[in-house]
Amino acid sequence: METGNTHISVVYKVLLRALSRIRHLRPRVLALAAMPGIILALTGCHGSRGLDAFAMPQSFDTARQYEITFWAKNDTNKTQTAIYEKAITDFENLYPNVTVNLRLYTDYGKIYNDVITNIATKTTPNVCITYPDHIATYLTGVNQVVPLEELFDNEKYGLGGGEIRYDSPAKAEIIPQYLEECAFGGHYYAIPFMRSTESCYVNKTYVEKLGYQLPDTLTWDFVWKVSEAAMAKNQEGNYLINGQKVLIPFIYKSTDNMMIQQIRQKGTEYSTQEGEILLFSDATKQLLETVAEHAATGAFSTFKISGYPANFLNAGQCIFAVDSTAGATWMGCSAPLIDISADKLVEFETEVLPVPQFDPANPQMISQGPSVCIFNKDDPQEVLASWLFAQYLLTNEVQIAYAQTEGYVPVTSKARQSAEYQDYLAGSGEDNTLHYDVKIKATRLLLENVENTFVTPVFNGSASLRDAAGQLIEETVKSIQRSQTVDDAYYDKLYKDLASRYHLDGLSRPTETYAGEKDKLGPLPGPAVFLLVSLACAWALIVLYVISKKVRKK
Amino acid sequence: MQKNIQTEKQSRSTETPLSPNTSRKAGFFRCFSRCKGWLYLLPAMLFLGFFMVYPLIDVFVYSFEEGYNSASQTYFGTGTYNYSYVLHDPYFLQALKNTFLLVIITVPLSTGIALLISIGLNSIKPLRNFLQTVYFLPYVTNTLAVGLVFMILFKKTAYSDGLVNLLIQWFGGKSVDFISGPYWAKMFVLCLYTIWVVMPFKILILTSALASVNQDYYKAARVDGTSKFRTFMRITLPMISPMIFYLVITGFIGAFKAYSDAVALFGTDLNAAGMNTIVGYVYDMLYGDSGGYPSYASAAAILLFAIVLTITCINLLISRKNVHY
Amino acid sequence: MKETAKSNGLQTEIGNQADYDSIGKKARSRRRVLDAITYVFLALWAVIVLFPFYWMILTSVKSYGAYNSEYIPKFFTLSPTLQNYVDAFTAVPLGRYFLNTIIFTVITTAIMIVVITLAAFAFARLDFKGRNLAFLLFLSLMMIPNELVIITNYVTITNLNMRNTFQGLILPSVTSVFYIYLLKENFEQVPDSMYKAAKVDGTSDMKYLLKVLVPISKPTLITITILKVIECWNSYVWPRLITDDEAYYLVSNGIQEIRENGFGRENIPAMMAAVVVISFPLIVLFLAFHKKIMAGVSRGGIKG
């Protein structure tokens, strides 16, 4: 008998024998007795009372050393990384007792996940680039994020304060609209860092080739009309407009913005300020039906389904590419950053226009861009040091340098009106790197449209709602491409699916309160019952089998 | 092993009795020798206790703290609300279904194909070592990178239908979008990739198992003139059945824990692709957009543990019935 | 088998000879057909296994622009370049990540070998009260998925201030019940008589373990070492969670970084180059110890 082959049986015998050793009760009893103790100890460990509220210290203790962490987002752009690092070096020269540790991210979502993980271990960063939606969730913990009004208004260390070692802007020198965007629940929780909006990059050459004149402000009708007209093919299956096999006339990068802006342009919101969801309405259904209609002909697609709009635009395979103004650095045939091979580029004239509107007289566009928040710590001096660094990000050097990397605008009027920035704007077209004309056109678009920008309501869970809005469009287009029936019943089902996927049911709570109450759950759904019943039956059978074997042995 | 224990017990009972002094020392030694086992076990127990048992209890406790939210660090109270929530969540049930399908399809298939390949390998002489090395390659590489390659091969883009679709069209079929298309196509790619990843190990085990079967049996069978098929069914299969069952058991356990394979193919938003697995659901719950819910994640994880435990017990019982010596 | 006819000697004999020949030929041709089918089948699987690797290597020598411009993926490239390999090492400090990974792997594996040898010996040879219960508990720990324990371990390690340290990386990754089980099986293979003989000689258990059992089980130990090395080399989730200081990143973090690095978009060719470089040492390791691994696995019988 090969001993090598007996081991499974041996294991099994061991298991059975161990199971039958119920006689040896003492160790088991001891272990069982210890369990409640362990469990109690652990339950005590879960949950925390949060931190104490931040109290502004009288003065900044320059004798102590501080080490603060700064979590920053960059668009995988090495120039931006360099700007952060330079800002840190300059700040550390001004304040030698503060060391700043930089951690880079390329995705807001990952920053959000890591912050949440770190709240439990009290290792949140000091300064963090974030979105107000996420701050609303951080706020559900007690005193996690520092409210900033006291810091703003402090004479010594506030905005434009007397004892600041660099030239920080006064509160009035920050664009009021952007500052207001960072306020909710009655407090300021962040300072704006950079702002951008969405714009439509148009292949003007192709539009005129199709026989249309580009208006100053695009309308949805115009865009759909031109896109459909471009879908004409010749006999070999190549598109007439570009002579290639591939053409997607209208590509939208962030479908959540698409849905939100359309709803806003129609005169409603996608939720109330308190978080009551208005997204799943008939008006939304109509918007989706239009999208479905044009996705069916292949005239419309999204980034998640097809790829970067810039790549299609630059290869002459797209006419209307909607992306953030920050993405201007990649748009156009002479863009400084190109992601496709150079021989695929097509010559055309790029025009930068606001996103399509329903009412051209009242344009509405989303305002987006990173903001900076400060996390509370036990040591108020550390918080003050963090505030000093965060404020440094508002100085002209950092604002202008960062805004020049992509189509961002500085958030301070001080930076905007500076000679350096004005020179930069005036140099549009001088070269195809720093003064790339499409990028500057996009920047100017935002500068001229500040009053027409808006933000969405911020509450705990607004990030999920935003994702759900985008997914409405993504799912519709995907289903169309898979030739599924997209009708009223489909939309109803889609609403339900997304509401449960993003856990939107219990969302209507104001910020700064507990994260929800127990939702009333209905009866268990079929598969769940099946699972529980099968588990129970399986164990019953196992126990019966083992007992019967023992009985038979006896 | 039964025999060993019995003989050891006998040998100890036949030891000659000792004088009082030495018997005290012997008593000390005996106690020491009994505790020695625990001493040897101590390092392993420390590591496992700290990093496996403690987290398990922690997770268990979390699963009874209702609605624990990471951002707010608060919870409603204690009870079974978490389990109720998870069982009502259609995405958990979807993940359950996906995982079960994955397990049912990949474990038998991969074991079967591995068996065939091992038999084939054992029956040829030249190239055997080379092929064995080749077959082990997937075990060595980074699964995320290879998943990316699979995704590229199967994905339909605006420009091309992907290599696999080109093959299908060459054989006259219709091209299918495997990555963003119908459910059966996505399941197919996931199963294919999972099988591809688990094969090296199974082939390794089965080839060595086949090689270690006593050749005398085969010789006897040949003398009797048994057909190849009968030899296989009556001799080979029973001799390697312990190994096969072991692969099945560990295959089940491993397949239930599938997650990174799905992410490698479909990206991190598995719910949108409808291809979430139970472990993926646990992760999603930990990092949700509303602050992360370790409570729901723990409840789902405990449910998974219960399922795996049940199936392993069933497997062990079946193997006891069917494994031959 | 055809029975020989009773009748006419020589004719039947010649007839039988012809029968044997034809049977022999049929058997041989059947065998050849079977062999051919086997070879085809094996070759098919070899192609399925090798193709993604071929694709990876191919992508790693395509230039970034060429890769992104291919609408239809090509099976070959007209202008291979080693630029991606250079990029992989310069875009991120891959050399340092290699060093970190080697340190992590060596120390983890070393500690693991010590711990599981002791534990397996305890289960296999030493008789103590509660041994079977302990083994049953160890066995049930096998079923715990890693994802279950990861968050609590993260909190534990953070509270002990071991983030961004090698201790934090190594300690939770040391033990795995699978390896204890395998080694235990292997130890049990060694016949009792050896143990008894050693006891009669007065050898202590520890000496017996070190001088007798370990050398006999060397193939299995080598197998376990190599499998653990592969596991440590490719581990990603845990290092990603607890290190945010670049000085402690492992190669798997490095691959993700390469993927997200560069100007704006994913640099897939460079990432593939990094993967090829990273997998290379493991392949060499496997090739070097290939025979021992096969022996180790078959001796032990089962591996989890």
A214 found inside a domain: yes
Residue linked to tokens 């992760």 = B283
Q: Return the domain boundaries, chain B.
A: 18-49, 81-322
Q: Which two tokens stand for residue A172?
A: 């009035």
Which residues on A lie below 8 Å from B306 (Cβ)? 535
User: Tell me, what's the ipTM?
Assistant: 0.78
Shared-domain flag, residues A360 and A407 = no
Contact A531 B70 (CB under 8 A): no
Which residues on A lie below 8 Å from B316 (Cβ)? 11-12, 15
In C, minimum Cα distance to B114 occurs at: C45
Q: Residue A257 corresponds to which amino acid?
A: N
Rounded to 5 degrees, φ, ψ at A407 are -80, 45
Nearest by Cα to C99 from C166, C176, C168: C166
Chain C contact for B274 (CB, 8 A cutoff): no
Q: Residue C245's pLDDT is what?
A: 77
Size of interface A-B (CB pairs under 8 A): 176
A235 found inside a domain: yes
Shared-domain flag, residues A124 and A89 = yes
Q: Residue A21's pLDDT is what?
A: 54
Q: Residue A268's pLDDT is what?
A: 86
Shared-domain flag, residues C171 and C251 = yes
Select from C69, C139, C263 the Cβ nearest to the Cβ of A78: C263
Q: Distance (Å, rounded) from C-alpha A495 to C-alpha C137?
A: 46
Contact (Cβ atoms closer than 8 angstroms) between residue C94 and residue C274? yes
Shared-domain flag, residues C151 and C35 = no
Q: Distance (Å, rounded) from C-alpha A184 to C-alpha A273?
A: 9
Q: Residue B12 corresponds to which amino acid?
A: R
Shared-domain flag, residues A473 and A345 = yes
Within the 131-190 window of chain B, which residues sit less than 8 Å (CB to CB) from chain C? 131-146, 148-150, 152-153, 157, 159-160, 162-163
Nearest by Cα to C282 from B142, B127, B143, B128: B142
C283 found inside a domain: yes
Q: Could you list the residue range(s) of the whole structural domain that residue C296 is in? A: 85-300
Q: Could you list the residue range(s) of the whole structural domain that residue A259 is in? A: 197-367+454-501
Shared-domain flag, residues A389 and A339 = no
Q: Residue A324 corresponds to which amino acid?
A: S
Shared-domain flag, residues A363 and A488 = yes
Q: Which residues of chain A have pLDDT under 70?
A: 1-49, 76, 506-520
Shared-domain flag, residues A356 and A376 = no
DSSP string for A410-449: ESBHHHHTSHHHHHHHHTTTS-SSTT-HHHHHHHHHHHHT
Contact A4 C299 (CB under 8 A): yes
Chain C contact for B246 (CB, 8 A cutoff): yes
Shared-domain flag, residues A333 and A467 = yes
CATH fold of the domain at B81-322: MetI-like fold (1.10.3720)
Chain C contact for B126 (CB, 8 A cutoff): no
Q: Residue A418's pLDDT is what?
A: 92
Shared-domain flag, residues A213 and A341 = yes
Q: Which two tokens stand for residue B247?
A: 């692969």
Average pLDDT value over all residues in chain B: 80
Which residues on C lie below 8 Å from B43 (Cβ)? 114-115, 118-119
Q: Residue A373's pLDDT is what?
A: 94
> What's the sign of the alpha-carbon dihedral A4, A6, A9, A14?
negative
Shared-domain flag, residues C234 and C106 = yes
Contact C151 A18 (CB under 8 A): no
C206 found inside a domain: yes
Contact B291 A518 (CB under 8 A): no
Q: Domain total for chain C? A: 2
Which residues on C lie below 8 Å from B117 (Cβ)? 41-42, 45
Select from A4, A76, A117 the Cβ nearest to the Cβ of C264: A76
C74 found inside a domain: no
In C, minimum Cα distance to B203 occurs at: C294
A513 found inside a domain: no
Mean pLDDT, residues C288-295: 75
Q: Please, what is the angle between helix C251-260 and helix C268-300, to 10°?
A: 150
Q: Residue A47's pLDDT is what?
A: 67
In the three-class reduction of DSSP (H, G, I as helix; E, B as strand; rest coil), residue A250 is classed as strand
Q: Domain total for chain A? A: 2
A104: enclosing H helix or E strand: strand A98-105
Task: Report the CATH number that the domain containing residue A438 is assigned in CATH.
Answer: 3.40.190.10
Chain A contact for C68 (CB, 8 A cutoff): yes
A511 found inside a domain: no
Q: Residue B271's pLDDT is what?
A: 83
C76 found inside a domain: no
Nearest by Cα to A220 from A175, A256, A258, A172: A258
Shared-domain flag, residues C237 and C152 = yes
Residue length of chain A: 554
Contact C41 B117 (CB under 8 A): yes
Q: Mean pLDDT in runs of 10 for chain B (325 residues)?
A: 41 48 61 73 88 87 80 76 87 92 94 90 81 85 82 79 81 80 89 92 84 80 81 82 81 86 83 87 77 83 87 79 61
Instruction: Quote the minimal CA–CA distance from C163 to chain A in Å.
Output: 11
Residues in contact with B271: Cβ distance below 8 Å, sequence separation at least 6, in sequence order: A501, B91, B284
DSSP string for B228-272: HHHHIIIIIHHHHHHHHHHHHHHHHHHHHT--HHHHHHH-S-HHH
Shared-domain flag, residues C99 and C211 = yes
Which residues on A lie below 8 Å from C249 (Cβ)? none
Chain A contact for C197 (CB, 8 A cutoff): no
Within the 10-39 window of chain B, which residues sit less than 8 Å (CB to CB) from chain C? 11, 33-38
C80 found inside a domain: no
Q: List pLDDT tens digits, range C144-178.
A: 777 778 878 888 888 888 888 888 889 988 878 88
Shared-domain flag, residues A256 and A311 = yes
Q: Which two tokens stand for residue B11?
A: 């040998």
Q: Residue B10's pLDDT is what?
A: 42
Shared-domain flag, residues A83 and A139 = yes
Residue linked to tokens 């050891």 = B8
Contact (Cβ atoms closer than 8 angstroms) between residue A361 and residue A337? no
Q: Residue C5's pLDDT is what?
A: 47
Q: Residue A32's pLDDT is what?
A: 56
Shared-domain flag, residues A185 and A244 = no
Which residues on B lie below 8 Å from C121 (Cβ)? 40
Q: Distance (Å, rounded) from C-alpha B286 to C-alpha B235?
A: 50
Nearest by Cα to B246 from B323, B136, B138: B323
Shared-domain flag, residues C92 and C47 = no
Which residues on A lie below 8 Å from B66 (Cβ)? 518
Contact C135 A18 (CB under 8 A): yes
Q: Distance (Å, rounded) from C-alpha A135 to C-alpha B75?
A: 20
Shared-domain flag, residues C56 and C89 = no
